[in-house]
């Protein structure tokens, strides 16, 4: 393959290349109040226990609800909810009830007090496993203690944030199972 010509790229904008998995909606609850925020910065950290690291800015209203309750639900929307995802990420739960504003249905979770969002493809109930880096980096490490997902489709059309208001919609799958050692699947 030919070398690709490059130029000096601003390091503060490299998220365009590294943006991880799907944009998700994080729902939370504390003392009767609920909130939802949009989140693109997250990473899977371990299979078992099932750990996920989440970047939740202290400027967000959700930060306080999550810090106090030590729980949340990570909801995975599909492209059908793209405009809702953008809307939720551009207003504050301190001012609006986002479930009402965006006509979303709050469902009771099994293991946490934070509500599931019924319209999302999957719902991951989370308990805080380690908040040690929340003060310095806004990094919350959650354990997924219950997961809800439909049988089909196996690969939903999720949306992935590229910055500057641009999203990528997940596309075709590539099956490379034959190249994997069993322990790496
Ligand atoms: C596409 C998108 C991705 C976002 N990703 C994050 C994120 O990873 N972490 C974060 O703290 N805020 C993120 N935000 C911003 C919050 O969703 C936004 O500040 C929201 O209004 C917070 O709501 P709240 O104040 O009700 O908690 C994102 C927003 C958008 C639109």
- Please report which confidence band the pLDDT of residue 4 belongs to, taking 50, 70 and 90 as the band edges: confident
Kindly report, residue by residue over 76-124, the tens digit of the pLDDT: 999 999 999 999 999 999 999 999 999 999 999 999 999 999 999 999 9
**DSSP state letter for 68:** H
Q: 176 is written with which tokens?
A: 């490379």
Give 170: exposed, middle or buried? Use CB within 10 Å, 0-12, 13-18, 19+: middle
Structure confidence at residue 28 (pLDDT): 98
The string of pLDDT tens digits covering residues 10-69 is 888 877 777 768 999 999 999 999 999 999 999 999 999 999 999 999 999 999 999 999
Q: Rounded to an integer, what distance in angstroms lies between the CA atom of residue 22 and that of residue 118?
A: 17
In sequence order, the β-bridge partners of residue 168 are: 160
DSSP 8-state secondary structure symbol assigned to residue 35: E
Residue 20 is predicted with a pLDDT of: 67
- Strand-pair category, 51-55 with 71-76: unpaired
Ligand 1, pocket-test mutation among 34, 35, 39, 92, most atoms within 8 A of CB: 39
Tell me how far the alpha carbon of residue 176 lies from the centroid of ligand 1, in angstroms: 34
CA of 81 to the centre of ligand 1 (A): 15
Q: Give the global pTM.
A: 0.95
35 CA distance to ligand 1 centroid (A)? Answer: 12
Backbone angles phi, psi at 88, to 5 degrees: -65, -35
Cα–Cα nearest to 104, from 12, 184, 20, 27: 27
Q: Which residues line ligand 1 (CB under 6 A)?
A: 23, 35, 37-41, 55-57, 60-62, 86, 89-93, 161
């Amino acid at each position: 393959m030919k070398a690709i010509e490059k130029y000096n790229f601003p390091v503060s904008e490299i998220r365009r290349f590294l943006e991880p998995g799907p944009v998700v909606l994080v729902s939370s609850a504390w003392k009767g109040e609920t909130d939802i925020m949009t989140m693109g910065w997250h990473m899977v950290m371990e299979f078992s226990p099932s750990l996920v690291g989440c970047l939740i800015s202290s400027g967000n209203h959700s930060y306080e609800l999550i810090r106090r309750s030590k729980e949340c639900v990570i909801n995975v929307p599909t492209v059908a909810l793209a405009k809702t995802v953008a809307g939720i990420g551009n207003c504050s739960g301190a001012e609006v009830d986002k479930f009402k504003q965006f006509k979303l249905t709050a469902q009771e979770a099994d293991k946490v007090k934070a509500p599931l969002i019924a319209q999302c493809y999957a719902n991951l109930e989370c308990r805080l496993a380690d908040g040690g880096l929340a003060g310095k980096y806004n990094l919350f490490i959650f354990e997924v203690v219950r997961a809800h997902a439909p049988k089909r489709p196996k690969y939903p059309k999720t949306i992935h944030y590229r910055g500057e208001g641009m999203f990528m919609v997940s596309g075709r799958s590539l099956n490379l199972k034959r190249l994997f050692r069993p322990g790496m699947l």
